[in-house]
Structure 1
């Protein structure tokens, strides 16, 4: 029988089979694209405002820093921690593979907007950080919750923050152009918040200040509003005739911030931090009481070591033997939100290991205002296809 007659005798696919084949092909193609090239994310919190807004939909490039191979292969395709719209886990951790990273275009650089897996979703860290970070659960590396922050320091850098200004290796760093800080707007009257603040790009609700609000506010008898905004918008607010003054709010040096990393005993806070040196692959350090507090969690949870124990912040052992020096196995980064006074970042939970880096945020493809003033304003058209800077 000829090949042409064989084809003629083949039973055609049913409509259901055609649909199933199409869906399988689409899922496989989308999974490969999501793993190898790009992944879509949405901004859920204001920690990166005013650079990235709540409701911004991003494409994140996996290729810039190199795609990671899966650690947890038993997972429902196109899911992260849970099956869509449920709390049912989307994966099984019965098999855990070693992680590798494919070659990328570049290394993580200072100033990059980086998506990464939150390190403190390590099962050994949840108990410590669960009270300060809501919905924190232990997960494998590649399934820990995704955060986006700006890299302000890379491996080997000496970082210090003085009065809100980041210094790297002793030099002040250029701030993101749309960086937000906390300001006190002293007013002579009640303000139409919708008109004045939202129209000026203050996307978070202004907090009304009545008498004593915060020790950082000069003159506790002043009335006004505490807002998160950019320096440029703060200058504009000064021009209104009902505004007496606009003052940046910074915690003074030595003032304790009880959630700070590694602990409040340092006297550091969100505006005055360090100095700290970021761990670098291959670099050996001498361990002492001062830096065990800083690097103990790194050695215990993120370096792939077994049988590491810490006693408070004063000693560390491996296989029952005291460690007096240690050589790091990978690079680490310091991440901060552009909304510097409203961001849970490396100042509060420590360094980001390289194996937790997901990719680089490249552009906003859609932006939905969660609190539009009208139905026509639901889509922020001026942000569509905006390059992330």
Structure 2
């Protein structure tokens, strides 16, 4: 089921629309009859204040008529077209930063009803490299955002901070993009810099990871130990290897040593997909220190250079 806010929007839309319809077909004609009778017995046209006294429109009807068009437009836009999200953590750095406000394209992976989230229309499937918002499989009240690196049937290995992919190929297929079928393809990494980001006192290495058709930057902490003991153990595979089930996806954060993702809890079911993150429409800095008079949630600056499409 969708979140409380989505359900509330739908209920307000349905409630205000129903009140408007009932009034339009049942009560408004009766008010018009009373006004017509009063007008017929008067020699001069009735003033507006007199009409409102003869056949007053109930406040609930007036309110429903005023909010229905606006709330219906918001519900349609948010449920089927775009939904805004705020990035609350650094698990997708450097692609997305804490304080980024993004738009998620809802119809990319199909049109779903806004309450029960059942599929209404099939539109498309996630592609490798998509930055995707989904309902956290272990608690669907929580929205997660990660990058899709494994498609159904793929074999994924993450070992020594290096990603390997054996793609799920059809019979007779020898290559999928730049991935060779039947082989564990080592995903190429190119160093960008070593001094742009820190985790505590440790420098993070920024690299470009070249997924098929998608080049994107990731962060690696070369001093951090791989926490393989926390990895999700899939039956029949090694600790750091996973086979993506049908109608599921393997998702990882770009901040590889600071991300709770499919390595720790498993796969993202297709039914949990919310949409594709496509645009940063605002980005705030929150640098209020412990000695600041302002609370931590008050922005200290705007990062205009970050606004634009998400890669």
Aligned to 1:305: none
- Partner of 1:30: helix, strand, or coil? helix
1:157 aligned onto 2:164: no
* Higher Rg: 2
Aligned to 1:47: 91
Aligned to 1:258: 229
Aligned to 1:277: 243
Indicate if the aligned counterparts of 2:113 and 2:119 stay in contact, CA closer than 8 A: yes
Name the CA shift for 1:71/1:20 in 2 (closer, same or farther; >3 Å): closer
1:343 aligned onto 2:309: no
Query: Which structure: greater strand fraction?
Result: 2
Q: Identify the match of residue 370 of structure 1 among 275, 286, 291.
A: 286
Matched positions, count:
230
Task: Map 1:1-389; keep pairs closer than 5 Å.
Answer: 6=36, 11=52, 18=62, 20-70=64-114, 72=116, 99-104=118-123, 106-121=124-139, 144-169=141-166, 170-174=184-188, 200=196, 202=197, 206-207=199-200, 225-231=201-207, 248-249=222-223, 251=225, 257-262=228-233, 268=239, 273-274=240-241, 276-280=242-246, 331-371=247-287, 378-384=301-307, 386-389=308-311
Name the CA shift for 1:267/1:60 in 2 (closer, same or farther; >3 Å): same
Q: Deviations over 1:42-72 (max 9, x none)?
A: 0001000010000100100011111222454
| TM-score after normalising by structure 2 | 0.63
Report how far residue 388 of structure 1 moved: 0.5
Indicate if the aligned counterparts of 2:284 and 2:299 stay in contact, CA closer than 8 A: no
Report how far residue 162 of structure 1 moved: 2.6
- Partner of 1:54: helix, strand, or coil? coil
Name the CA shift for 1:365/1:167 in 2 (closer, same or farther; >3 Å): same
Q: Which has the higher contact order (CA 8 A, sep 6+)?
A: 1
The separation in 2 between residues aligned to 1:174 and 1:60, in whole angstroms, is: 28
Report how far residue 161 of structure 1 moved: 1.6
Q: Deviations over 1:190-241 (max 9, x none)?
A: xxxxxxx7xx4x2x6x42xxxxxxxxxxxxxxxxx31345148xxxxxxxxx
The separation in 1 between residues aligned to 2:190 and 2:85, in whole angstroms, is: 21
CA-based RMSD: 3.7
Indicate if the aligned counterparts of 2:104 and 2:277 stay in contact, CA closer than 8 A: yes
| TM-score after normalising by structure 1 | 0.51
The separation in 2 between residues aligned to 1:372 and 1:32, in whole angstroms, is: 37
Q: Which runs of 5+ in 1 are unaligned?
A: 73-97, 122-140, 184-196, 208-224, 233-245, 281-330
Report how far residue 24 of structure 1 moved: 3.2
Name the CA shift for 1:360/1:249 in 2 (closer, same or farther; >3 Å): same
The separation in 2 between residues aligned to 1:376 and 1:345, in whole angstroms, is: 28
Q: Deviations over 1:89-145 (max 9, x none)?
A: xxxxxxxxx8224232x3101100000000011xxxxxxxxxxxxxxxxxxx5xx21
Indicate if the aligned counterparts of 2:153 and 2:243 stay in contact, CA closer than 8 A: yes
